[in-house]
Amino acid sequence: MINIRFPVDVQDQTCVKVGFFRLCGLPQVLGAVDGTLIPIIAPKEHEEAFVCRKGFHALNVQAIVDSELRFLNVVSTFPGSTHDAFMFEGCGVKDYLERNDVGYLLGDSGYTLRRYCMTPFANPNSVQQTRFNIAHKRGRVVVERAFGVLKSRFRCLHKTGGCLPFTPSKCAQIVLACMHLHNFCMDRNIMDPTLMPDVDDDDEDDAIDRQADGVEGTDRRNVIIGRM
């Protein structure tokens, strides 16, 4: 089952962009990106690397999601101590968007502002900047909701379900399999009535040094708010 694909042809990209524009009013959005923590048993090797910021052993799983809560790209192999921005640096989608100016992702303040990754204003000082932040949040929250639905559907991924009692590599495979099954259910409108599609509670912005923000990213964001 191969149903986790980042859109690379024009028709698929347009479909994703239209979905986000209807949701939040921002143009050219190709996905929302974030990481979530998946509890695992303490591994025998490099144990300390898997201790997350909340103090338990975990994988930090990065995903890019569309406006319909479908996973478009997943990186599930990083230990829990890994910063979201570091995971993104090694992501194939990031490399693709660097080479092709076809749109951008929505990321929280833990990501660097770039031409292909829009982050919110840290301290909005105008009506336009405030409007952008509101629209940005409305669009980006889909990735948190997708993680919430995923963990409600597959309780083994939620901390209330304990932790995955396998090696990190096996746990990463299980997470990826659950995400494939999640997309399968979303494609077929299969919703468990017991699901509670709340936002993922693992999301805590680890704000980075804003001096790292790129000029091209700042310029693109200014163009966007100038049209709002």
For the stretch 156-194, pLDDT in tens is: 999 888 899 999 999 999 999 999 999 999 999 887 656
Task: Tell me the β-bridge partners of 147.
Answer: none
Question: How many whole angstroms separate alpha carbon 52 and alpha carbon 201?
Answer: 14
Query: Quick check: 153 and 182 in contact, CB under 8 A?
Result: yes
Residue reference for tokens 């799983």 = 61
∠ CA 124-105-62, rounded to 5°: 110
Q: What is the pLDDT of residue 212?
A: 58
pLDDT at 214 over 90: no
Domain range for residue 15?
A: 10-226
Q: What is the pLDDT of residue 148?
A: 94
Rounded to two decimals, the pTM is 0.92
Q: Do the domain assignments include residue 61?
A: yes
Q: Do the domain assignments include residue 191?
A: yes
**Helix, strand or coil, per DSSP, at residue 37:** strand
Q: What is the DSSP letter of 199?
A: P
Q: Do the domain assignments include residue 4?
A: no
pLDDT at 44 over 80: yes
Question: 171 CB contacts (<8 Å, ≥6 apart)?
Answer: 38, 40, 59, 164
Query: Quick check: 79 and 59 in contact, CB under 8 A?
Result: yes
Among residues 40, 5, 212, 12, the alpha carbon closest in space to that of 122 is found at: 212
Alpha carbon 6 to chain centroid distance?
13
Q: What is the pLDDT of residue 208?
A: 56
Query: Structurally, how many domains does the chain consist of?
Result: 1
pLDDT at 211 over 60: no
Q: Do the domain assignments include residue 76?
A: yes
Among residues 126, 100, 77, the alpha carbon closest in space to that of 8 is found at: 100
Question: How many whole angstroms separate alpha carbon 165 and alpha carbon 185?
Answer: 25
Indicate the range of 28-42, 118-132, 201-215 predicted with least confidence: 201-215
pLDDT at 198 over 90: no
Summarize the confidence of residues 198-227 as an average pLDDT: 75
User: What six digits make up the tokens of 18?
Assistant: 């239209």
Q: Do the domain assignments include residue 27?
A: yes
Question: Average model confidence (pLDDT) for the chain?
Answer: 92
Residue 200: pLDDT band with limits 50, 70, 90: low
Question: How many whole angstroms separate alpha carbon 160 and alpha carbon 158?
Answer: 5
Q: Do the domain assignments include residue 5?
A: no
Q: Do the domain assignments include residue 3?
A: no
Q: Do the domain assignments include residue 115?
A: yes
Q: What is the pLDDT of residue 161?
A: 80
